[in-house]
Amino acid sequence: MAPWLLVVGCSTVLPPAPTVTAVEVAALAPVAAAELVLERPANVVGVNVAPLRDEVLVRASVDGNLIRVAWLAASAASGLQLRLELVATGPVSSVPDVLHGAAFASASGADQGATVVSVRATDAAGAAPTAPLGASSRDLTSSPLTLLGSFAARPLGDVDEDGLLGVRDALLALERLAGGGWSDAEAYHADVTGDDLIDGGDLALLVERLVDLDLPARLQVKPTALSFAQLDPDHPDVGVVLIGNQGRRPFPALTWQPPTGVVASAAGGIPGQSQALALELPRAARKGWRPGRLTVSDGAGDLGSVRLGHLVVLVLGQSNASGRGQPVCCWPETSNPFVRMLGNDYVWKNASEPLDTNEPSQRDYISEDMLFKYSLGTRLGHLLWTHTGFPAYLIPGAKFASRVAEWWPGATGLEQNTLFGSANFRAQVSAGLATNPVVGQAVPSEGGPVSVIVWYQGESDGGTASLRDAYVGSTNTVMDAYDAELGVPIVYVQLASHYAAQNNLEQHVIAEWQRRMETGSGYGEEARPNFHMVVAFDLPRSDEIHLSAFGQRVLAERVELAVREHVLDEPVDGTGPRLVALRRAVLTPRVIDIETTRVLADHALTTSYFRVFDGDPGRIDDAGYGTNVLPIASVARHPSDPTSVRITLAATPAGIPFVRYMAPPALPYEPTAWETVAAGVVRAAEGGLPLPAFGPLAAVD
């Protein structure tokens, strides 16, 4: 009689059936990866899985009446592979049956099927080996993939391109990591985490998705950016965006929204799992176009985006725009493939200083300058790329000593022997709307539509009363023409200081006109739309009139903030404080308050920047100009209003006081001061942007 059999009377009573608490899975032949579907025994509600050999990645889950398990190993081997601990609510009386599965010795080998795997109950503890699955990695950013719409015809993760998700996909990715030889399609599908780095995290997610069919949908959107060439339907490098699902559940409702002007068309995919989009920027939409983002939503709150296009900056004006800053030697800019330029030679290249040159390869000699040094341009490009993520493209077109009337457009606006036409023609070349005269370039229209004009001009218009009086009208002629051609915002520089007293006064007259022309200035006749000013009078010079290299770098920072605020609508302050009103206290006529739009820094203010006249001082050409000056006792931030400055006079005005605010003419420009921004000027408390020069303006009661 069997030792476990008990006979009582005429009845035979069997002992309780043994309870299965764990099973071990073994391979009867060498296996490197496998996925199994097991029948879930009664009372089993979960499983814990652990490998039984080194360098194995395992995952398991309970799915309804099934147990799903998959593993991936660094090499093929037979014998014990893994241990499944059964989590149950009651006794488990049977070993899970294998319903079906797949097993591979290599990604190139045939599926050996479930018959090569055995499952049996075990009482062994089955401690996991100490060596996890090791895998090298591949950085996709170092060699970007060429993405095709056809990649979306298969679910994300289908590395072997058989149309299905299986363990062979993970095995192929592992083998490619070890030995290379990726195709672009394989690399795209292997990067399921979407971080442009194929590594162990991707292998783990590939295996996880095989056993958890309830894994929530999660967006993957590639690439992170498309260039202008990829948006240009006339260029062979078609812009494709691929949307993939990192989970297994379908997307609730996949939608996408391109920026204004860009057309996004569905180009194939699998409902709920993948989608390809073809993007283009039609020629008719390029005037005034600004770079933006395609946004993608899965309908459940998950969002993705793609940067589209470039920031293209047209730099115009006279010598402070072309750059005479010193010392050139001490402010290098590292070459950056995301900061590019199109000079007078019509060749796209990485931007560097001097931004434009007089090399023999130049074509538009109209803007030649034999004394180019250091400008704001290259640093501006680096700042824009760093802070916005959009590649920056610079088109230098400034000409030293050019009066504003020299910028008036010709008959067609495209004459390359005029300042306006040369700059405008290169802008049209950049936008793909005119043919680049230099053939053989990989992308003749590499930059894209101009996003903003940076304008620094006016010094040459201060010399005579007639030029000063005509400045607003002459500038409007130029800006109206550029608006008609390009339709973009203008960021312009209010003139800086000059060493000579008379020249300083003349430049200040222009600076006051520039202040009035700014959008929102309140001067209805002079104010222009889309005309945004930055201030420069506090910046150091390296000669009588030109900003030093350091001054140009600080100016680039201010221009960059203005571009981000007024072109890209970012929540930054690129404006700084602006004048609201000048008020004289009725009861204390020696006190004048300058009201501004920002909270001001509470620091000592230099009285030499302020001049108060007893009545209208007249025009600077008048013989008696400046003779009715009132002495100033003190200037400081208002004691109770942090947005205002209080001027206290040492004498009581007989008439209406007029206030002028500008840099004094004798600011030092010796090399010891080339890197010193002026102290004692009115600045914003946060960001430190200065109040513009102004006046003379009447202080009202």
* Residues 429-454 pLDDT 10s: 999 999 999 999 989 999 999 999 99
Q: At what angle do helices 465-485 and 501-517 cross, to 10 degrees?
A: 40
Q: What is the spatial distance between Cα 293 and Cα 568, in angstroms, rounded to a whole number?
A: 11
H or E stretch at 555? helix 549-566
Q: Where are the domains of the chain?
A: 22-121, 220-292, 312-401+437-566, 579-698
Model pLDDT, residue 104? 98
Any idea which of 98-112, 309-323, 655-669 has the lowest mean pLDDT? 655-669
User: For the packed helices 465-485 and 419-430, what is the interaxial angle rounded to 10 degrees?
Assistant: 20
Residues 6+ apart with CB under 8 A from 321: 315, 375, 376, 398, 454, 455, 456, 457, 493
Each residue's pLDDT tens digit, 499-533: 999 999 999 999 999 999 999 999 988 999 999 99
Q: How confident is the model at residue 586 (pLDDT cuts 50, 70, 90)?
A: confident
H runs (alpha helix) in 311-458:
319-322, 377-388, 419-430
Residue 582 and residue 610 in contact, taking contact as beta carbons nearer than 8 Å = no
* Topology (CATH) of 579-698: Immunoglobulin-like (2.60.40)
- State the CB neighbour count (10 A cutoff) for residue 217: 19
Tell me the residue ranges of DSSP E strands in 213-300.
219-222, 225-226, 239-245, 255-257, 263-270, 274-280, 292-297
Q: Output phi, psi for 206, to 5 deg.
A: -60, -45
pLDDT at 131 over 90: no
pLDDT-based confidence at residue 16 (cuts at 50, 70, 90):
low
Topology given in CATH for the domain delimited by 312-401+437-566: Rossmann fold (3.40.50)
Is pTM beyond 0.85? Reply is yes
Express each pLDDT in 352-376 by its tens digit: 998 877 677 788 888 877 788 899 9
Please state, in angstroms and as integers, the Cα–Cα distance from residue 296 to each residue in 231, 248, 257, following that order.
Answer: 17, 18, 7
241-292 tens-digit pLDDT: 999 999 999 999 999 999 999 999 999 999 999 999 999 999 999 999 999 9
Looking at the predicted structure, is the pLDDT value of residue 383 above 80?
Answer: yes
User: Residue 330 has what pLDDT?
Assistant: 75
**From CA 528, how far away is CA 482, in angstroms rounded?**
13
